[in-house]
Structure 1
């Protein structure tokens, strides 16, 4: 028996290039007092110490840098300190390279946009809800939208029995997309229709969507406004196609959308495949073809700008299970803007009598009255174009360039779909916010772009993190990524005592098979495997062992060293 298997304190062997050393997994939990002292480098702040200080002397530049230093530095290559502050300042300006601040710029961009948005709102001296306000009983990941959209969302929030900001904001966006989708265009020539999915656990109050939206429609006081929102369950693409040809431009409310997504992911479900195809094609479509039958009296003419909007809600498990490679490959899922809520159920709201202000109510009614003119499939007025301020347009153009660069930088189809329509969705959201504020002459401001980009970036980040952790899909690769996530968490933080991990096993990077089985047994990627969760996990572990990520520990070692009598694996390395 080899010595490295018997040594229970052995954490890991040498790690090849491109893998993550196990001793680095706990780096974020390390006490900073135990870290080694930082060595002074050419760019260190020690160069900036006052030469009059009696406690520390400046550190001279290293020999390899002397060639590019000023003459006085070359003359003092014996490490002696300069004689004046001016000499040090000259060296700092001419020889020390500037730090790379690109990472800081990327992290600061969102903060800058938020500040600009709040400043713009304050200049208007209005009652707009500041972007930094959060009134949810659970901490919200989304800030209130600016302007009229924010006030509509807050109205829905305060009149909900289980108030959740994500639910209210998603409902407000969906309603505005259904109302404004056909009447307005982006300055790039696209409609304002949106496909939205709210992903949250059961019982948190997602039904607030189906209660709040009809209330706002009724408040408009316009009878025809009811056609902007339809709760019809279209059982096929043919049924939805006919509806769009006769009554284009509406929001379709979908309860438990995850179940329908599951059917769409099944290639043998022909009606749902037709519905999926129509939904894919209708997004941003300039013209929807008509229908021709053998009986010419039943023929239906095509329609310009169908402007279909969708708003569905589902649970995380149902939604993530449907994100198969096939669903991503044709761009179906990339058309959806996903809003996630990971919090719990809020306390009930006993007082639900909040009203819109007279000004907001008048503005809402005027917007609906304007949009009703575009409900007919023919003979509608020319659409209103939403323009943008120079700074808002520059931010949107910059985001589009970022999306293109990220899309071209990867071959992962999941990753590509994340970026493929991110700019278009940001553009539509910003336009909706602008229309809600000024429906006659809408203009995108920096506050609209700031909020829209934050929303889209959260959508991107949530999807990417889910994909990387193995939560997306049901493929073999998905199962392996999920096991890697569980193993990484196992090394970083001790599992709860209920798992009964013998002392010393985690320190030696040995993970029991039973621990992994408990963690994976209820996950769709494992539980729905055609041969069962046990076989799915065994196949994934076998693949990881063949790839050199883990090795099975002999029973004698487990029994003698840890008094453990099951199967366990030593973690050798973890992929990025």
Structure 2
């Protein structure tokens, strides 16, 4: 295993577990990673690329793939192989160092590769391992993170768990106790979480269907176990720093009593659909502080092209660096002494400027906006520290590049939450239904003529900005804000539409016009002056 100041050797084809035919392509290119690039024709690009065997590839394409791979795998002199950032085209890049390299691997190991999912998995895995071994440069804060990744059903959120499991499995023969850094897949109660922390004081848990969990935790009818879990999650976020402790809890049944836990570090990766997650939000659960603790990473796209040549195992160089970080975390696991992540003066200036921005926003805003900004600086400092540790665990330093990246990711998360609250597109009730109808209308006008005909809508109506009642109603009835309305989906829909008519956002189109122009005999709506 190499230390700081040493270059990493070139990566060979044997570092990857490719099928034989693809491994041979990699050997011919001189870099095993190019097997993936050539097989997908375009290298490390997004969205997913056409399969290698679909058609012959010109020599120029193969040469470009080789160049892409060679650039990505350039060794450095700092003992860390800094993967070139992969851009999603949506303002999110992979960071330098081990976090970025792990994200690259998780992306290429997924059957349905999505950069946002890979990034969320890499961030939380690293925080789950090293969150208790270091402190941020600010207030001796710990480095555990709460992250939720949002994507539509079927997009490939399971790729996060697969990638994490593969990385952990790769070093398990060397470090059998690496599983101590992996927490339970669900928390049944606050007491259960505390008992897990007694055994595993630092871990990451991947929580599937997190939107449903969130809704249960924040429901006014939540039971005592769920309310206690919310309290413990709130406490754990702040208790991972130097000299912090989670105090014991006493019960009438002494068997259930918990002990003192020094600096517990709980990192969460929640997986959810946008609808399930935002349906569980309201002003109340933002103001209690749980939601502002989360960094929201959302993939807005549809199901990506399947990856038929996944990278089945991480490269040896990535295994070595991940194993070195795990070894470091294991040596400090039983110690209350922490290393503090350093920062350059320029990085410090960037982070403090963001702290001022967040502080002003918190002071000047009201309602949910103030709370959403409240943890922004803390999350940015933790993110930057995790990335810095991944770049050099022996002497981590936050650079301006790392600070910029962390701030951008957190700012994007804040903006997403603010947008939802500003449009009323959260929780349940009239505001949510109103926002859902606006989204239905916007999506309707994006359909091409073939899709409209399949939906039994005359394309001429869409072209003229007219929405048939039947289409409108069917789309609304499928959404939880209408399905779960106490009065039923149809009355809720009619009530919401009437509100739009009364406000001038919609107008009802005359039936004679509908029959003469479109041979349509039902009800339809046009866009009003106040849309």
| TM-score, normalization by structure 1 | 0.69
Which residue of 2 is the match for residue 448 of structure 1? 402
Aligned with 1:238 (options 175, 188, 191):
191
Distance 1:216 1:527 in 2: 41
* 1:418 pairs with 2:372: yes
* 1:519 pairs with 2:444: no
**CA offsets 1:165-191 (integer angstroms, 9 cap, x no match):** 223222111111111111111111211
Taking a change above 3 Å as real, the CA distance of residues 207 and 562 of structure 1, as seen in their structure-2 partners, is closer
Aligned with 2:234 (options 255, 263, 280):
280
Do 1:210 and 1:253's aligned partners in 2 also have CA atoms closer than 8 Å?
yes
Which residue of 2 is the match for residue 333 of structure 1? 291
Distance 1:550 1:357 in 2: 60
* 1:227 pairs with 2:188: no
Taking a change above 3 Å as real, the CA distance of residues 309 and 522 of structure 1, as seen in their structure-2 partners, is same
Unaligned runs of 5+ in 2: 1-71
Do 1:204 and 1:346's aligned partners in 2 also have CA atoms closer than 8 Å?
no
SS in structure 1 at match of 2:238:
coil
Taking a change above 3 Å as real, the CA distance of residues 520 and 277 of structure 1, as seen in their structure-2 partners, is same
Aligned pairs (5 A) from 1:329-408: 329-341=287-299, 342-350=301-309, 352-358=311-317, 360-376=318-334, 380-408=335-363
Unaligned runs of 5+ in 1: 1-117
Do 2:106 and 2:118's aligned partners in 1 also have CA atoms closer than 8 Å?
yes
Do 2:379 and 2:410's aligned partners in 1 also have CA atoms closer than 8 Å?
yes
* 1:195 pairs with 2:153: no
Which residue of 1 is the match for residue 268 of structure 2? 310
Shift of 1:294: 5.6
SS in structure 2 at match of 1:309:
strand
Which residue of 1 is the match for residue 28 of structure 2? none
Shift of 1:261: 2.2
Aligned pairs (5 A) from 1:551-566: 551-552=507-508, 555=511, 564-566=520-522
Which residue of 2 is the match for residue 432 of structure 1? 386
* 1:208 pairs with 2:159: yes
Larger radius of gyration: 1
Which residue of 2 is the match for residue 130 of structure 1? 84
- In angstroms, what is the RMSD of aligned CA positions? 3.3
SS in structure 2 at match of 1:419:
helix
Which residue of 2 is the match for residue 145 of structure 1? 95
Which residue of 1 is the match for residue 280 of structure 2? 322
Shift of 1:431: 0.3
Taking a change above 3 Å as real, the CA distance of residues 265 and 355 of structure 1, as seen in their structure-2 partners, is closer
Shift of 1:428: 0.8
Shift of 1:314: 2.1
**CA offsets 1:364-388 (integer angstroms, 9 cap, x no match):** 3232122123434xxx241111121
Taking a change above 3 Å as real, the CA distance of residues 474 and 295 of structure 1, as seen in their structure-2 partners, is closer
Distance 2:198 2:391 in 1: 30
Shift of 1:288: 1.2
SS in structure 2 at match of 1:251:
strand
Distance 1:354 1:178 in 2: 21
Taking a change above 3 Å as real, the CA distance of residues 225 and 194 of structure 1, as seen in their structure-2 partners, is same
Distance 1:223 1:156 in 2: 21
Do 1:502 and 1:563's aligned partners in 2 also have CA atoms closer than 8 Å?
no
Distance 1:243 1:353 in 2: 31
Taking a change above 3 Å as real, the CA distance of residues 559 and 346 of structure 1, as seen in their structure-2 partners, is closer
Which residue of 1 is the match for residue 208 of structure 2? 255
Aligned with 2:457 (options 496, 500, 511):
500
Aligned with 1:159 (options 106, 109, 128):
109
**CA offsets 1:51-80 (integer angstroms, 9 cap, x no match):** xxxxxxxxxxxxxxxxxxxxxxxxxxxxxx
Taking a change above 3 Å as real, the CA distance of residues 561 and 312 of structure 1, as seen in their structure-2 partners, is closer
Taking a change above 3 Å as real, the CA distance of residues 519 and 225 of structure 1, as seen in their structure-2 partners, is same
Q: Which stretch shifts more, 213-222 or 427-436? A: 213-222
Q: Which stretch shifts more, 296-305 or 228-237? A: 296-305
Shift of 1:297: 7.8
SS in structure 2 at match of 1:253:
strand
| TM-score, normalization by structure 2 | 0.74
Taking a change above 3 Å as real, the CA distance of residues 353 and 237 of structure 1, as seen in their structure-2 partners, is closer
Which residue of 2 is the match for residue 459 of structure 1? 413
